Amino acid sequence: MYSMPTFVSFAYFLCIVPLGAAKGAIEQFVTSMRHRAGTYTGARVSELASVQARIAESSACLDFAETVLRRDWQELEMSTARGEYPSLETKLKWKRNVAFASGLIVKSIDTLMPAAGAAGLSSKLPLQRLFRDVHAASAHIALTWDIQATAYGQSALGIPPQSGLLL
């Protein structure tokens, strides 16, 4: 681990935080929706197609993010084990991917929040804390899509990545 590119591996370590929080948010959301009834009608919220679709979309975002994170981490570990140092293009690809995965993680929790209703805004509920945790962790510069996407795009176009970018 000590011979891995520092700023690439750090981004993956950092992205585990919102991934775990978002997984917890889905679990909490599903548990709360199973037994929740509509305030005015008493209808079971779990029977609403919109709630079911939001759970599916949120879960898909996390599954895709985790798949990419695991695949890239495995590539990073294998290249380190072989004593290879990744090229600039490879490091930029990995940083692009971790930032994109972070965006999917944010999308996963943002997808749930409208279905949580006004109760989802209560600071006393775990869902709101997890929402804030996901957004806070994903706001780190290492996980910011605009920065990582620009660097990757510059490299793909033969333009040296912006100065000051930590690789």
The model's pLDDT over 131-146, given as tens digits with 9 standing for 90+, comes to: 999 999 999 999 999 9
Token duo for residue 7: 């700023």
Task: Spell out the domains of the chain, with CATH numbers in brackets.
Answer: 21-156 (1.20.140.10)
Residues 6+ apart with CB under 8 A from 23: 62
Q: Which helix (H) or strand (E) holds 38?
A: none
Q: Which of 90, 84, 88, 97 lies closest to 162, judged by CA?
A: 88
Q: What number of helices (H) and strands (E) belong to the chain?
A: 5, 0
The span from the CA of 88 to the CA of 97, in Å, is 14
- Mean pLDDT over residues 11-36, rounded? 93
* Percentage, residues of the chain above pLDDT 90: 60
Query: Could you give the CA distance from residue 143 to residue 2 in angstroms, rounded to a whole number?
Result: 21
Least confident stretch, 31-40, 74-83, 104-113 = 31-40
Cβ within 8 Å of residue 41, ≥6 positions away: none
Q: Is the CB of residue 62 less than 8 Å from the CB of residue 22?
A: yes
pLDDT at position 165 over 70:
no
Residue 140 φ then ψ, to 5°: -60, 145
Q: What is the pLDDT of residue 4?
A: 64
State the average pLDDT for the chain.
Answer: 89
Global pTM? 0.90
Which of 6, 22, 32, 33 is closest to 62 using CA atoms?
22
